[in-house]
Amino acid sequence: MSQFIIVPKISSYPGPEARARVMLRWLIERGVVEAQLTRCGVNGQWAHAIGPRASEVIEPAGLTLLPVNEPCNGVQVVTKRCIYTPKDAFRGEARCPECRAKVGEVLVEHLEVWMPGETDNFICPECDHEDDINGFPFDEACAFSDLGFIFNNWPGAYFRRGFLDEFAERLGFPIECVQVST
């Protein structure tokens, strides 16, 4: 089981449910996913199945890379605050973008305050630089947001750059692509 997750790099997306609907409509109109929900998500949860033109967002194009024969192959959307990390053994190594100090341990501890929505920001303990928690780069791709698009068993490494750029443009924020292998 693997997941390729596209996440806007902002803790509190303005109107995450409305934007999720807009993005799903775009994916459906492009034929990337089906409109009807089916039980093709994780553990049989509801998700949007692979659409007839999904291979067009994969490089090289072709259904052979898509998980068409997998029972879990749908796209699920999360519209609640979530921590997206690449795997269970996430190292949590991050640096301050201003002073370059290692802040990963303190930042990961700060997630206890971030998760319930008490704050979106983190303050560097070394130089007092303050920014959205997503503004502090981690060594591994990860993201923290109340909006995420989970492509179950899709080959994240093969997504076309143009598709990802358009995805970010439509979200209105830079994105982080998190690859999860379990």
Which pLDDT band holds residue 127 (cuts at 50, 70, 90)? very high
**Residue written as token pair 């269970």:** 88
Which pLDDT band holds residue 89 (cuts at 50, 70, 90)? confident
Name the residue range of residue 10's domain. Answer: 2-79+146-181
Question: Do 75 and 96 share a structural domain?
Answer: no
Average pLDDT over residues 23-47: 97
Question: Do 153 and 127 share a structural domain?
Answer: no
pLDDT at 38: 97
Question: Do 155 and 120 share a structural domain?
Answer: no
Question: Do 69 and 19 share a structural domain?
Answer: yes
Question: Do 74 and 152 share a structural domain?
Answer: yes
Asked if residue 147 lies in contact with residue 7, where contact means CB atoms within 8 angstroms, the answer is yes
Which pLDDT band holds residue 64 (cuts at 50, 70, 90)? confident
Specify if 140 maps to a domain: no
Which pLDDT band holds residue 55 (cuts at 50, 70, 90)? very high
Rg (C-alpha) for the chain, rounded Å, is 17
Specify if 166 maps to a domain: yes
Residues shown for the chain: 182
Question: Do 70 and 127 share a structural domain?
Answer: no
Question: Do 33 and 112 share a structural domain?
Answer: no
Specify if 18 maps to a domain: yes
Share of the chain above pLDDT 70, in %: 99
Average pLDDT over residues 20-27: 98
133-143 burial: b if 16+ Cβ within 10 Å, else e: bbbbebeebbb
Question: Do 73 and 8 share a structural domain?
Answer: yes
Question: Do 106 and 18 share a structural domain?
Answer: no
Question: Do 67 and 10 share a structural domain?
Answer: yes
pLDDT of 145-181, one tens digit each? 999 999 999 999 999 999 999 999 999 999 999 999 8
Name the domain count of the chain: 2
Question: Do 114 and 52 share a structural domain?
Answer: no
pTM, whole model, 2 decimals?
0.95
Question: Do 72 and 13 share a structural domain?
Answer: yes
